[in-house]
Amino acid sequence: MARKHSSRQARKASPPAPRSRRWPMHWPIMAVMAALLVALAVFWLNRSAPPRPMHPASPSEVQAAVGQSPDAPERLAVKIVSIRPHDPNAFTQGLFLHGGSLFESTGLYGESSLREVNPETGEVKRRVSVPQQYFAEGLALADGRLVQLTWQNQKALVYGLADFKTAGELPYQGEGWGLCSDGGRRLVMTDGSDRLTFRDPKTFAVLGEVRVTLAGQPMDRLNELECVDGTIYANVWQTDDILRIDPASGKVTAVVDASGLLTPAERQTTDVLNGIAWDPGKKTFLITGKLWPKMFEVTFVPRP
């Protein structure tokens, strides 16, 4: 008690302590100043950080950013050779030419199909429906059979080339997007990422994989594929860009700007570009897309 009393007295009696009297008067000002400094720092940091894109950069955007550096891939455009009809109800997911016929896989639940199409007229010569639980994706010829990916069922559907009869299933892990046959030696598959997976054409076993980069940046959303003499072409989902890829390194060696094939009015009723088929006889590509009313026979030329 005595100590308490005496100390209270002492405090009361002692002269004002300059520090303790000034501090209570100024701390709100200092707190406000500190808050202002923090706010300024946050503002400055946000300003100096690169803007976050609303979506991953498209290959064309990355290429434009790279400019003419030694790492920059070739800039190509499409030159139209001819225009053919395409079933506007075909939600194209896979496309390739074999023996003068076009083989096409179409997607969507309840609407997926496997087709043989006349490449000149767009006439559907044969068509089988895919069971409604599957959303069909990429298509390729593998070991003499047609192999059709499914989006999320983790199995490929196998058909006889001559009769389109079901001939088994091949399991895999992850999503199925695009597929092409690399000279019959191996299959190349995409899954919506930046990865190309190489698979055994008979067993579908994984033989290896490579990540695709453009000037060091990963290129994801790789979709429909076309294997052409050891080079891989992939269109990029939700863009009009087609990439030419070196499968050994994963490096993009050219970006093909395939925009402008459809008219603005046609774009209103169609989905994205998704279909590349190489014609080895004519050295041209057939390009189409989901619900596109046309197929375009094109060559890839230097961009103007």
Closest by Cα among 28, 58, 17 to 222: 58
Q: Which residue has the closest beta carbon to Ca ion?
A: 226
The answer to whether 59 and 219 have CB atoms below 8 angstroms apart is: yes
Nearer to Ca ion, 140 or 219 (CB): 140
Who contacts 100 (Cβ-Cβ below 8 Å, separation ≥6)? 119
**What is d(CA 271, CA 161) in angstroms, rounded to the nearest whole number?**
28
The token duo for 160 is 């006889």
The reply to whether 96 sits near Ca ion by the rule CB under 5 A is yes
Q: Judged by CB, which is closer to Ca ion: 252, or 276?
A: 276
- Binding of Ca ion by 114 (CB under 5 A): no
Least CB distance to Ca ion at residue 139 (A): 8
Considering the complex, state which of residue 61 and residue 271 has its C-beta at the smaller distance from Ca ion: 271
Label residues 90-115 b or e (16+ Cβ within 10 Å = b): bbbbbbbbeeebbbbbbbbeeebbbb
136 vs 170: CA distance, rounded Å: 14
**CB under 5 A: which stretch of 29-37, 74-82, 268-276, 291-299 binds Ca ion?**
268-276
Among 95, 130, 158, 212, binds Ca ion (CB under 5 A): 95
Structure tokens at 176: 């199925």
177 scored as a contact of Ca ion (CB under 5 A): no
Q: x/- site string to Ca ion, residues 195 to 234, per CB under 5 A?
A: -------------------------------x--------
**Min CB(95)–Ca ion separation in Å:** 5
By CB under 5 A, name the binding residues for Ca ion: 95-96, 226, 276
